[in-house]
Amino acid sequence: MDKIYLNKMTFYGFHGVLPEEKKLGQRFLVDVILEADLKQAGKADDLHLSIDYGLVYQLTEQVVEGRSKNLIEAVAEEIAEVLLFQFDLLKACTVKVIKPDPPIPGHYQSVAVEIHREKSL
């Protein structure tokens, strides 16, 4: 299957279990891998035969900057559901939600959740 990558899309959201996360918000990074047959798009050089990256960004932004959730697992799940519903050509997607600055003690670059979902027939 062919793949489209959108890497390190950056948004500001209010997700987390701690009250300060819901009040102050924080930065979230999202990687998305879209799996689809892109042969016809490549041959015809036609966006209508592919997946519009700009719309993928907008839909992802609406989820991350939308309703607050406790878990980044829930954020990733909603992004996958929205994308699989929106694009007929999309067969599967991998969504990684990265929380670069979680309010937990320790030394690390970030915490993240990655899920893979396929369109059910």
CATH number at residue 103: 3.30.1130.10
Domain of residue 79: give its range.
Answer: 2-118
Q: How many domains does the chain have?
A: 1
Rounded-to-integer distance, Cα 80 and Cα 32, Å: 9
pLDDT in tens, 3-62: 999 999 999 999 999 999 999 999 999 999 999 999 999 999 999 999 999 999 999 999
Stated pTM of the model? 0.95
Q: Give the catalytic positions in this structure.
A: 99
Give, in order, the Cα–Cα distances in Å from 18 to each of 14, 26, 71, 72.
10, 12, 10, 13
What would the two tokens of residue 41 be?
């798009």
